[in-house]
Each structure stands twice: as C-alpha cells, then as structure tokens.
Amino acid sequence: MSTFLQQLINGVSLGAIYSLIALGYTMVYGVLKLINFAHGDVYMVGAFMGYYLANGLGARGAQMLGAGADGFIARGLLGSGAMEPSLITALVVMLLAMAICAALGVVIERFAYRPVRKYSRLTALITAIGVSLLLENGGQVLFGADPKFFPELFTKQNFNIFGGASINSADIVVLIIALALMVALQLIVYRSKTGRAMRAVSFNLQSAKLMGINTDRIIMFTFALGSALAAAAGVLVAIRIPRIDPLMGILVGLKAFVAAVLGGIGNIPGAMLGGLLIGITETMVVGYLSPTYKDAVAFAILILILLFRPSGLLGAVAQEKV
C-alpha cells in the first residue's frame, strides 16, 4: 500500500511538470490555433538561463562538489554579499529566466511566425518545427552539448507522510508554483482586458481587428506569456532534477503536448488535468508493468484520445463551420 501511495506521489510530481509545460502549449493554441513545437525548446532555454543566472548569483554550486576547498570558497562568497541559497533566490532566478524567455518568445513570434501568419496553418506548423530545430542545435553550439548540472537553489527536504510514503520539498514547490501559475493564467485570460482581447483574437482575428484590437500586440503578448511559462517550468524541473542539456526539451515537450491534447487543447484546467494524468499513468506503468513502455504510454494515450474523444477530456466539442 505504501508503495502504491509513493508511486502516486511520484506520478503527481512528474505530472505537475508536464502540466506546467502543457499550459504554454494550450494557451498559444487557444489564441492562434498554432501548435508551437518550439515550446519544449523554449523550456530548455529557460532551464539554461536559470543555470547561468543561478551561477551568476553565486548559488551553492560549489558546495555540491563537496570538496573542502570549494566549500570554503563558497562560504567566503556567501559572506561577501552573494545571495544565500533559499526559496527567494530560486524565485528571483525563475522570474529573471521567465523575463528572458518572454523576450525570446516575442523575437520568435516576430521573425518566424508573423511573416507566415497570412499563409495556411500548415506553413506555421512547419515553421514551428524549424524554430524547434534551430533552438536545439543552436543550444548545442551556444551552451555546449554536454550535460550541465544545475546548482541547488534551496535545501531539499523529505517529509514523511502517513503510510510510510515521503514527499520532497522540491516536489511541493513545483506543485504549488504550477497551481499558482495556472490560477494566474486563468485570471489573465478571463478577468483582464488583455485577456478579453486574447479571447476575441482567438474567436476571430479579422473581427477583433475591426473592433480596434491591436492583434499583433495581443499575439505577441500571448507568445511572451507562453514562453515565460515554459521558462518557469524549465527552472522548476532543473531544481527538481539537476541535469540539463540542449536536447532535454524534445521528449518532455512532446509529452506535454499529449497532455494538452488529453485535457482538451486550448483549455487551461484541461492542460493541468492532462499533465497529471500522463504523469501518474507513466509512473504506474514503470512501477507495475515495465519501464520499457514508459515513453510509449503517452503516445498510446494520444492515439486513443484522438480516436475516441478528439476534443479532449475538458475540451468543448468543436463545431465544424460548414
């Protein structure tokens, strides 16, 4: 029983990561009907920005070496005004990484997607794949192809809960931030003026333009928001699993996409639900069937959902305009 409970916790904490990335997918799709395949790679860039920022802020990467001399230097640093590793440092690093990736999102939209917006949706999709490849290979040139190890931004602790299972503080932080971002996103989209404009653009681009909405700016904002979410996910995942490399976004991005489709693409709570379901299913398959099927599960779910409920669990059944 405790093993099952532990697997459930493992699944939820893995699912929270998929949910976070799926949020960005689903929002861009909701507004533009564009599947932004570069989203997983923006997530990777976010993790790397976090890595450089954290090292720049003098977090405790040195202590991870465990060597006496390094520990000494790290102490010296902390005494000389560098930031104490804490939740605050983690938040500062995350917010800065989000800002950088928001800018990256705007650049991608301006120079890759806007020029092809007047053509068919397929053109935009292929462009998205191109941007994805550019980021992956550009990342290998810029950051180096070998894996980097993310510094520990705050002290991780294990909390024992009932039934002999335990939960890690990093998992709790990831879950809470994911939930908070989801609520914030929901508020932006349904309670703010910009959100209303986003929904209008999503409903009909031409009409929105006629109503005096600056559609270019709204689309740009959507990309900035989506990319910031991806960066948040990148930093949070790197805190939980401290190994990052330029190709880390491919598989996670694909699974998050499946999560978005499962929940109903374009639907914000749906992305959250889809991510959690994929995470839990994957963990249970590894725990109780065979780890060999780990990566196959998500895609089997994708096929099933497309066959039986293409609009997703929470998605509205789409009416084809004739």
Partner 1 sequence: MKRILISVGLITTFLFSFACQPTGGGDKVRIGVFMSLTGSTANFGISSVNGIKMAAEEVNTAGGINGKQIELLVEDDRSDASEAATIVTKFVTQDQVHAVLGEVASSRSIAAAPIAQNAKIPMLTPSSTNPEVTRKGDFIFRSCFIDPVQGAAIGQFAAKSLNAKRAAIMVDRKNDYSTGLANNITETFTQMGGQMVATTSYQEGDQDFNAQLTSIKGANPEVIFVPGYYNDVGLIAKQARDRGITVPLLGGDGWDSAQLYAIGGKALNGSFFSNHYSPYDTDPKVQKFVNDYKARYNTVPDALAATAYDAAHIMFDAIKRANSLDGQAIRNALAATNAFPGVTGTVTFNENRDAVKPIIMIEIKDGGTYAVRERVEVEGAAAPTTATASPATEASPATGASPATGASPAAASSSPAATSSPAATRSPATAVSPAKPAATATP
The residues of the shown chain that bind partner 1, judged by CB under 8 A, are 3, 6-7, 10-11, 13-14, 55-56, 58-62, 64-70, 72-74, 76-77, 80-82, 140, 144-149, 151, 156, 158, 166, 168, 237, 241-243, 245, 247-248, 252, 282-284, 286-288, 290-292, 294-295
d(CA 278, CA 295): 10
d(CA 176, CA 149): 24
CB of 139 to partner 1, least distance (A): 12
CB of 319 to partner 1, least distance (A): 39
39/60 with CB nearer partner 1: 60
CB of 252 to partner 1, least distance (A): 8
86/214 with CB nearer partner 1: 86
**CA geometry: angle 217, 318, 275, nearest 5 deg:** 75
1/122 with CB nearer partner 1: 1
Please state the separation of Cα 288 from the chain's center in Å.
27
58/274 with CB nearer partner 1: 58
CB of 142 to partner 1, least distance (A): 13
Instruction: Annotate 193-229 with DSSP letters as a single string.
Output: HHHHHHHHHHH-HHHHHHTT--HHHHHHHHHHHHHHH
CB of 12 to partner 1, least distance (A): 11
- C-beta separation of 128 from 34 below 8 A: yes
CB of 301 to partner 1, least distance (A): 17
166/311 with CB nearer partner 1: 166
Query: What backbone phi and psi angles, to 5 degrees, belong to 309?
Result: -150, 75
- C-beta separation of 263 from 18 below 8 A: no
Instruction: Annotate 115-158 with DSSP letters as a single string.
Output: GGTTS-HHHHHHHHHHHHHHHHHHHHHHT-SS-EE----S---E
15/195 with CB nearer partner 1: 15
